[in-house]
Amino acid sequence: MVAVVDYDAGNVKSVEKALDKLGAEHVLTSDPEVIKIADSCILPGVGNFGDCMDKLRSAGLDKAVKDFAASGKCFLGICVGLQLLFDESEESPGVSGLGILKGKVKKFTSTDELKVPQIGWNNVFNVKGRLFEGIDENTYFYFVHSFYLDAADKNIVTSNTSYGTDYDSSIESGNVFATQFHPEKSSDAGLKVLTNFLKIAGEL
């Protein structure tokens, strides 16, 4: 059973639809006890870093997510769900992230040629790790974001993407996986990423 964390800040419908298509048993939940007993967990996220952290904390889900990530069971963060795993974001100065991994989320610099947020398809490179099994270098995925990850430990980075600067677009640290792009909105390649996660988690 996959627990999809519901904290009123995630693109949960698209995630659920993708999981349905893949035949993965899942539950949408805001109950820490349900998350605790799940076999794997997905943390979606859309919106402001600080608002998302406030919603997690007010629902008592910040501890549930941290405990799950520490449990050894497979965990996947998506978009802001990736950013929340780290220490802080320039989007919300003074707001602490979950601090599961070390790093900072920084703001893209807008120019006449480079519009912020980045919305649309972009490719990933320097691809490695289990999420990308069977996925080619420079495959395109769907992104929507104004801020990007700069992980402190580059050994956990499993892909990079370029948008004015090269940034870390996915990570793998033990049982913890995360993508800045939206696999649930990235057609066949995104479904392959989700399939790989579910297979690692023993869900498929």
Residues (pLDDT < 70) of the chain are none
pLDDT at position 11, please? 75
* Residue tagged active-site, from 52, 79, 88, 203: 79
Residue 138, Cα to own-chain centre: how many angstroms?
A: 19
* pLDDT at residue 1 in the model: 96
What length is written for the chain?
Answer: 204
DSSP state of 134: T
Can 79 be counted among the known catalytic residues?
Answer: yes
What per-residue confidence (pLDDT) applies to 10? 73
- On whether the CB atoms of residues 27 and 1 are closer than 8 A, the answer is yes
Give the active site residue among 74, 145, 172, 182.
182
Distance of alpha carbon 143 from alpha carbon 149, whole angstroms = 13
Q: What are the beta bridge partners of residue 160?
A: 125, 168
CATH number (domain holding residue 130): 3.40.50.880
pLDDT computed for residue 122 by the predictor = 98
Separation of alpha carbons 148 and 103, rounded Å: 11
Contacts of residue 49, defined as CB under 8 A and 6 or more positions apart, other chains included, come to: 80, 83, 84, 89, 91, 92, 95, 97, 105, 147
pTM of the model: 0.97
Provide the domain limits for residue 38.
2-200
Q: What is the pLDDT of residue 110?
A: 86
CA contacts within 13 A on the Cβ side of 183? 31
- Give 199's contacts (C-beta < 8 A, 6+ positions apart): none
Give per-residue pLDDT as tens, 18-70. Answer: 999 999 999 999 999 999 999 999 999 899 999 999 999 999 999 999 999 99
Between the CA atoms of 139, 141, 146 and 152, what dihedral angle is there, to the nearest 10 degrees?
-60
Across the chain, mean pLDDT equals: 96
Total domain count, the chain: 1
> Residue 61's pLDDT is what?
96
Q: Is 184 a catalytic residue?
A: yes
Let me know: does 84 contact 97? Beta carbons within 8 Å. yes
